Structure 1
Amino acid sequence: MAGLRTQVFKQVICVHHVYNGAKRFASRIGFIGLGNMGGSMAKNLIVKGHRLSVFDTNPQAVANLVEEGATALRNPADIAKNVECVITMLPNTSHVLETYQGENGIFQGIQAGTLLIDSSTIDPSVPKQLSSLAKNQGAVFLDAPVSGGVNAAKAGSLTFMVGGQADEFEPAKEILSCMGARAVYCGPSGSGQAAKLCNNMLLAISMIGTAEAMNLGIRLGLQPKLLAEIFNSSTGRCWSSEMYNPVPGTMENVPSANNYEGGFGTNLMVKDLGLAQDAATRTQTPVMLGSLAHQTYRIMSAHGFGNKDFSSVYKYIQEIEKSR
């Protein structure tokens, strides 16, 4: 049954590329959650020829997508009634549960055969719950959180970590390829979220380490660009130093070059690290540096950095120095 449903689904919503100058059938996709990440992901779907219906609680975010050619609908239920696939990109677990299960939620309007893809970062137990509810209504739910940040969302080069039914991965991959460079099947429902939480914990740790090392080097008289070049050609190389350096003036087109605006907020990192801590507690797994990173970002949030990009840990370190 699942295999037959997959074949039908692939015929209906698979991505069709431009051929001999003519655009072929474009699938109907709903997108809910048009923030820094979701807005760019949705735009890439439009660019690749999909007909998009969108919803967000922020009217300006919706208006931006309508200008790109999307259709705005009133609520998640209306989205689900009009599409073959729904993608959600939301801030936290409570937003996801409300969007799927709440009044006028996705499950109030979902059609049999619909593919649901959640790219939020949430508790790994939630996809299992939503997958079961979707199955009861003849639909399929996949958890597919992303890695790569705002710049990768704009460039369509995200990595998707996918959990759910293995035989539904390929048709989902067709859609995910419009927004990312790579989609990796991680296992049953919740596996994508598990991979994402581990990745973000490592990211948080490496960003703090990069900020501390850069700050020390600068205080020792080294030029920040030179120090970054050394890191990135030596054993200290990591994504935080090479692609997302936290020191202003070191790189262009990253949050540190824009007063730490427009990136992955500190509050969101606190949320993700909290989920990782919960998972570590539940599995009795020691995460010493993960715990320290969680505490660091919680303190940053309490000191006014909550809405700044998480790389503002470099600025926070400087403020600690000034307060001594």
Structure 2
Amino acid sequence: MATIGFIGLGNMGGPMLANLVKAGHTVRAFDLSADALARAETAGASRADTAAAAADGADVVITMLPAGQHVRAVYMGEGGVIGAARSGALLIDCSTIDVDSARAVATAASDAGLLMVDAPVSGGVGGAEAGTLTFMVGGPDAAVEAAHPILEIMGKAVVHAGGSGTGQAAKICNNMMLGIQMLSVCEAFMLAKRLGLDAQKLFDVSSKASGQCWSLTTYCPVPGPVPTSPANRDHAPGFTATMMLKDLKLAQDAAATNDAATPMGAAAAGLYSLFCNQGHGGMDFSGIIRMIDGQS
């Protein structure tokens, strides 16, 4: 069993930490939120007063943070993880951030004699709670091999995408596809509604035909066809519209930097920006069907 420092205990980090504790690991938790720390203690973790204290002497340090600037600060800033971690420790960043930040932090970790992987996740809060996340992992072979046993506690699939930063590249490409696909499914159901085609009948056809995709068969944006989808909970989030917009913006920034044409991704980012600006950022991203339907 390992001693693990876990930094960032939000909607995803909290349940991920709980699964590590259930597996028998000793976990020291840090977050700026007192409520999040209290939940971590209830799950069986101990409380650290700073990020450096969580990392001090730990075998593994895991972070789940909002954006690249937070990851840079926590790892490379004054009192950061890289300065506090013991030699040879394994660092796992599960945040979804820009590729440049991921590579900058990985280089700093390597220079300090530490192993590091970027390991963003797919699967949402439900996957975090169930331990069924998919990890897209970037980093050197030795670091990825060391990370596998830890990641497998929290997820059902661990895919080594390549060198440092490629986990982030895989995540933003995947979520750009997801954002575009969800919009296409929403548009199709709203067209069907206006054509007098029952939503269940469209689902029955498309789930077995060429329109089949995860946004339809697992996360259907209309109530009924998929009982576990957020549409049956008034679009309460699994994965918020704000988080989808963040990932779409990361994809657009990467496309601009690397001269990649992503017109559908740009259109998706624009629509999710409009939806969030209407005050719906805290709703599940599938809730954008309401805007497409003309609802307020």
Counterpart position of 1:4: none
- The question of 1:185 aligning with 2:153 is answered no
Counterpart position of 2:254: 279
Counterpart position of 1:208: 183
Q: Distance in 1 between matches of 2:199 and 2:32?
A: 41
**Secondary structure of 2:91's aligned partner:** strand
1:228 to 197, 203, 214: 203
Q: Identity over the aligned pairs, expressed in percent?
A: 43
**Secondary structure of 1:178's aligned partner:** helix
Q: Give the letter aligned to residue 52 of structure 2.
A: A
Deviation per residue, 1:34-79 (Å, 9 max, x gap): 1221112111111211111111122222211211111111111001
Q: Distance in 2 between matches of 1:69 and 1:252?
A: 32
Note the C-alpha offset of 1:183: 0.7
CA contact 1:75–1:105 (8 Å) conserved in 2: no
Counterpart position of 1:96: 71
* TM-score relative to the length of structure 2: 0.95
Unaligned runs of 5+ in 1: 1-25
CA contact 1:91–1:268 (8 Å) conserved in 2: no
Q: Distance in 2 between matches of 1:298 and 1:262?
A: 17
Q: Which portions of structure 1, spanning 4 or more consecutive aligned residues, are displaced by more than 6 angstroms?
A: none
Q: Which moved more, 1:141-150 or 1:220-229?
A: 220-229
Counterpart position of 1:151: 126
Note the C-alpha offset of 1:322: 5.0
Q: Give the letter aligned to residue 89 of structure 1.
A: M
CA contact 1:76–1:99 (8 Å) conserved in 2: yes
Counterpart position of 1:176: 151
**Secondary structure of 2:71's aligned partner:** helix
* TM-score relative to the length of structure 1: 0.87
Q: Distance in 1 between matches of 2:26 and 2:74?
A: 21
Q: Which moved more, 1:53-62 or 1:111-120?
A: 53-62
Q: Give the letter aligned to residue 259 of structure 2.
A: Q
Q: Distance in 2 between matches of 1:322 and 1:125?
A: 39
CA contact 1:111–1:137 (8 Å) conserved in 2: no
CA contact 1:162–1:186 (8 Å) conserved in 2: yes
RMSD: 1.6
Q: Give the letter aligned to residue 143 of structure 1.
A: D
Counterpart position of 1:34: 9
CA contact 2:237–2:285 (8 Å) conserved in 1: no
- The question of 1:107 aligning with 2:107 is answered no
Number of residue pairs matched by the alignment: 296
